[in-house]
Homo-oligomer: A and B are copies of this chain.
């Protein structure tokens, strides 16, 4: 298996739960996964085609109110491949904070520009945090024995903790830069 193409696994994961179109897959990622994963159409559609070729998913071409769409459904082969991948150790968490990169070299241009970068970062985080706080609040209430929500809760808690740490850091950073 060699732990390759992660795009395969993200898509199979989403399809494990429900059949979706490529467009819907993208939407799921842009909402639920936003703070820890992302993908472009340029990888989603080609990946779906290759998954069909490999017998991991099947496609159903249909029409919805005159608009064409293709619904993808995972096969047993796909399910097995996905579960296998879940058990393999993580190869790499990939972080590329462009904000931090610009910050690191801030000495080259001075604090005004850097404070602006921090401000933009802070705004973005503040706008996204309520979704995470809401998710943690809602998911923590659920007391049934269904397992899936527990794992969703875990990721939301991760996002909440990290986002709150970001905001605390923004305060510290501003203080350091402002009192010259």
Contacts and interface: CB of A to CB of B under 8 A. Distances in A.
B99 A90 contact: yes
Contacts of A101: 6, 9-10, 13, 33, 36-37
A22 B47 CA distance: 34
A61 interface: no
A108 B82 contact: yes
Interface stretch (A49-57, A65-73, A112-120): A112-120
Contact of A104 (B110, B155, B176): B155
A9 B103 CA distance: 13
A78 to B, nearest CB: 12
A173 B92 CA distance: 20
A96 B94 contact: yes
B173 A107 contact: no
The residue among A82, A110, A158, A176 with the most chain B CB atoms within 10 A of its own CB is: A158
A41 interface: no
B151 A36 contact: no
A96 B168 contact: no
A93 B96 contact: yes
Interface of A: 6, 9-10, 13, 16, 33, 35-38, 82-83, 86-87, 89-110, 113-114, 116-117, 120-121, 147-148, 150-155, 157-158, 161-162, 164-166, 168-169, 172-173, 176-177
